[in-house]
């Protein structure tokens, strides 16, 4: 079994026979649903943007925003080595101001309009909160927060702060995702009772216990601030930083937290999902300080108005979906691939984890086809706006354009859904969940600490 990259998904989809999937798919994905030139807003003044977190995600966001000709005038990271790497890789940042503490950045840069937050998960909420309270527009990587309580807080703060917000699940801007939503809401798939997400492997170690001892902190790294609001952990070379923090309870949200805000995006929007009433989990290799090695998590949602109850199943690590479930996907890609499968009584939709491309097959059809060029659904009306990219949408909203699609109300709700699964994983047991009250039935004391963590003072 293998993970499917965005590039490979596009390549394989384009190889499908018939006129429904040919070269038109590729430009749609590259532009992420670019609108015609006549629909683009007139140029406005550049935004003064600071990027907080100079690792890979920060660099990626810089490249997109620089391509939009915005003014990236400040870079902030607690690790001078990350700053140096970013400046070396991105010569266009040569004139940017450099900060090691976001608090000083927000205090001193009076002309700052907006921030991009690309830090480890445990820092998302504190920085976003401070930026919003300072009146700055915020783009924050997913998951929006490290805890359910923080997500609820940012949702409420976004309602009153009058700033533009966007969570960084970039597939939200994809024409494929928006077309899939239109088709599902039009009833093309019929009632959907089940959604399956297959995410094998992982990019970080898990199922392990925190190592003992401490290593010398590298020059240029402020380790105390890197740990920040989390319980203090001594520095260990190559264990937490850089890029290996996702598997640890104190800093990351595991594979589900990493990809759930992509994978659950389509079903949440298309099926009007509220909160799961129950979260079931079967996992192996659960570590004392880190996430499980293999697991199946099932989120059960009650009926919503005229929509049937639905179960979202997440297959993680080495866990496998039931035999035959992904047979149409295997027929296309010749092997089981990571992605999201929505099963209706009239058909199915399969999308890659980022929702950048989606395929549909209705009953009576012999193969999956691109949702953007599906002959049988061409008359279903377009009801959602299309956009150039996720960051472009945020920038335009900051300048007075249309509202963002993954604002903190939407992104925060999606994060709460995802983190309910993370909560069950950390507790190591299935839970009855009251999402509105953020409470677990018969909750152990440890549940409250995960839902509403206490910040360390540093």
CATH number at residue 103: 3.40.50.720
- By the 8 A CB rule, do 279 and 435 touch? no
Q: Which residues of 425-444 are buried (b: 16+ CB within 10 A; e: fewer)?
A: bbbeeebebebeebebeebe
**Is residue 266 domain-shared with residue 380, that is, in the same domain?**
yes
Whether 269 and 360 share a structural domain:
yes
Are 45 and 80 found together in one domain?
yes
Q: Work out the mean pLDDT of the chain and round it to a whole number.
A: 91
Burial call 361-399: b when 16+ CB within 10 Å, e when fewer: bbeeeeebbbbbbbeebeeeeeeeebbbbbbbbbbbbbb
Indicate the residue among 384, 414, 433 that finishes a domain.
384
352 found inside a domain? yes
Q: What is the pTM of this model?
A: 0.91
Residues 156 and 289 in one domain: no
Q: How far apart are CA 394 and CA 212, in angstroms?
A: 43
Please give the DSSP secondary-structure letter assigned to residue 22.
Answer: S
Q: Please indicate, yes or no, whether residues 185 and 121 belong to a single structural domain of this protein.
A: no
User: Which structural domain range is residue 324 located in?
Assistant: 6-31+172-205+252-384
Give whole-number Cα distances, 75 to 54, 89, 101, 350, in Å.
Answer: 7, 14, 10, 38
H-type helices in 90-174, by residue range? 102-108, 124-133, 148-161
Kindly state the tokens that stand for 421: 């699964």
Identify the CATH number of the domain in which residue 191 sits: 3.30.360
Q: 165 with 192, same domain?
A: no
Arithmetic mean of pLDDT, 154-163: 97
pLDDT tens digits, one per residue of 181-234 = 999 999 999 999 999 999 998 778 899 999 999 999 999 999 999 999 999 999
Phi, psi angle pair for 29, to nearest 5°? -75, -40
How many structural domains does the chain have? 2
pLDDT tens across 378-421, in order? Answer: 999 999 999 999 999 999 999 999 999 999 999 999 999 999 99
């Amino acid at each position: 079994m293998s993970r499917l990259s965005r590039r490979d998904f596009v390549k394989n989809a384009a190889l499908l026979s018939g006129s429904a999937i040919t070269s038109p798919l590729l430009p749609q994905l590259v532009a992420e649903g670019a609108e015609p030139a006549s629909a683009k807003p007139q140029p406005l003044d550049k935004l003064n943007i600071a990027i907080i977190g100079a690792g890979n995600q920060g660099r990626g966001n810089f490249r997109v925003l620089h391509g939009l000709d915005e003014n990236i005038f400040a870079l902030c990271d607690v690790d001078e080595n990350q700053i140096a790497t970013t400046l070396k890789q991105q010569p266009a940042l040569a004139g940017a101001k450099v900060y090691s503490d976001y608090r000083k950045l927000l205090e001193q840069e009076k002309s700052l309009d907006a921030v991009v937050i690309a830090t480890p998960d445990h820092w998302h909420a504190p920085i976003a909160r401070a930026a919003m309270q300072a009146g700055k527009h915020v783009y924050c990587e997913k998951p929006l927060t490290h805890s359910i309580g923080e997500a609820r807080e940012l949702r409420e703060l976004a309602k009153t702060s009058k700033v533009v917000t966007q969570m960084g699940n970039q597939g939200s801007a994809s024409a494929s995702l928006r077309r899939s939503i239109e088709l599902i809401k039009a009833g093309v798939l019929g009632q959907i009772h089940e959604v399956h997400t297959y995410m094998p492997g992982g990019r970080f170690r898990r199922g392990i216990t925190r190592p003992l001892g401490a290593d010398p902190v590298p020059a240029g790294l402020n380790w105390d601030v890197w740990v920040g609001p989390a319980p203090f952990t001594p520095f260990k070379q190559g264990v937490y930083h850089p890029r290996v923090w996702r598997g640890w309870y104190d800093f990351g949200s595991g594979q589900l937290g990493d990809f759930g805000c992509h994978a659950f995006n389509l079903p949440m929007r298309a099926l009007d999902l509220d909160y799961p009433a129950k979260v079931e989990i079967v996992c192996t290799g659960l570590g004392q300080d880190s996430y499980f090695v293999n697991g199946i998590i099932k989120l059960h949602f009650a009926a919503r108005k005229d929509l049937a109850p639905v179960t979202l199943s997440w297959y993680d690590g080495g866990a496998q979906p039931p035999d035959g479930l992904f047979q149409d996907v295997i027929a296309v890609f010749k092997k089981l691939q990571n992605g999201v499968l929505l099963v209706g009584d009239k058909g199915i939709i399969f999308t890659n984890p980022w929702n950048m491309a989606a395929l549909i097959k209705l009953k009576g059809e012999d193969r999956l086809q691109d949702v953007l060029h599906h002959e049988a659904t061409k008359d279903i009306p377009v009801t959602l706006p299309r956009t150039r990219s996720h960051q472009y949408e945020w920038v335009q909203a900051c300048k007075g354009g249309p509202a963002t699609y993954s604002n903190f109300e939407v992104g925060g709700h999606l994060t709460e859904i995802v983190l309910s699964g993370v909560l069950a994983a950390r507790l190591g047991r299935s839970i009855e969940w009251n999402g509105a009250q953020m409470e677990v039935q018969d909750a152990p004391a440890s549940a409250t600490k995960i839902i509403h963590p206490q910040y360390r003072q540093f």
